[in-house]
Amino acid sequence: MEAGVKYNIDAFSLSWEPIAPESHVAKFVAQCGVIVRDQIPISIQEWHKPKEGRLVSYVDERAKNLLWDTLMSHFTLPEGLTEREREKVKQATLKKMATQFQTWKKKLWAKYVNAEKKTPEFTGPLVKVKDHWDLFVQHKESDEAKQRSIINKTNAEKKQVHHVMGPGGYKSGLPKWDAAERKMIAAGVTPVTLSWPPRCRNWFYGHGGKLDPQTGQVIVKASLKGADKELIAAIKDARLGVFVPDRENDELTRALKNPEHPGRT
């Protein structure tokens, strides 16, 4: 980014992620990735400080503060934010950076493995990677890293239905789904999702659900693996009074058979 140029961020979501203006939000997210790749070496193994007994490298508070300060040299937050609110924005931003950092390392490793472990050419964005590459590979090929990879893969396989929204998430999906429904309504077609609870409707679209533009009814999608049928049944039962949804057990929770807060936390 050009030195001395700042972009304002005017509004935040409930999770304290920037949402307006959109053009500045895109720059904000992109710059998060640029800064974390530039400042944190790929040889750093963990984002958070590990539990006692684990001797691994991690991103300490000083480094995280530097990431935040560097980002804020390009952006300004609303003047009315309290210190507590600014801290929430900071933590949400660092969480985004953590995801971008881990994704960056995963892509580097996948490309290296797929290239039959051929060391990449350290040019362009990879120039700063060169001095940390050997340590990065050494850790990824360690027994501990392999064991963690197995555990992560096992956990990932437990999730049967995956979203198809990409990095933009619901924020980028909502305008498209709204537009598609408005188009059907303008054509005299009533989308079945029009009467669904918002949480159910958004989850349905976000995980690959589709409506027939000619009828407004659900098109069965293999990616939903039957969850769409469970969802429709739960919504129908709620309307009939057979099922009474509440905060901890609504239509989507029943369909996914996934309690919101199982046990004591």
Which range of 30-34, 230-234, 250-254 scores highest in mean pLDDT? It is: 30-34
Q: Is residue 23 included in any domain, yes or no? A: yes
User: Are 174 and 141 within one domain?
Assistant: no
Q: What is the pLDDT of residues 128-177, one digit of tens each?
A: 999 999 999 999 999 888 888 888 777 766 666 777 787 677 877 888 89
Q: Residue 99 is part of which domain span?
A: 7-157
Res 264 pLDDT > 60: no
Beta pairing partners, 52 = none
User: Are 153 and 251 within one domain?
Assistant: no
User: Are 191 and 113 within one domain?
Assistant: no
Instruction: Read off the tokens for 178.
Output: 């709204």
Q: Is residue 69 included in any domain, yes or no? A: yes
Look at residue 260 in the predicted model and tell me its pLDDT: 52
Q: Which helix (H) or strand (E) holds 251?
A: helix 251-256
Res 222 pLDDT > 90: no
Residue 32's φ and ψ, nearest 5 degrees, are: -55, -45
Average pLDDT over residues 230-238: 89
User: Are 14 and 142 within one domain?
Assistant: yes
Specify burial of residue 211 (Cβ count, 10 A radius: 0-12, 13-18, 19+).
buried
Last residue of a domain, one of 106, 124, 157: 157
Look at residue 223 in the predicted model and tell me its pLDDT: 60
- DSSP, collapsed to helix, strand or coil, labels residue 143 as helix
User: Are 172 and 151 within one domain?
Assistant: no
User: Are 119 and 241 within one domain?
Assistant: no
User: pLDDT above 90 covers what percent of the chain?
Assistant: 55
Number of structural domains in the chain: 2
Asked which of 7-11, 89-93, 213-217, 259-263 is least confident by mean pLDDT, the reply is 259-263
The number of residues making up the chain comes to 265
Q: Which helix (H) or strand (E) holds 28?
A: helix 22-39
Q: Is residue 263 included in any domain, yes or no? A: no
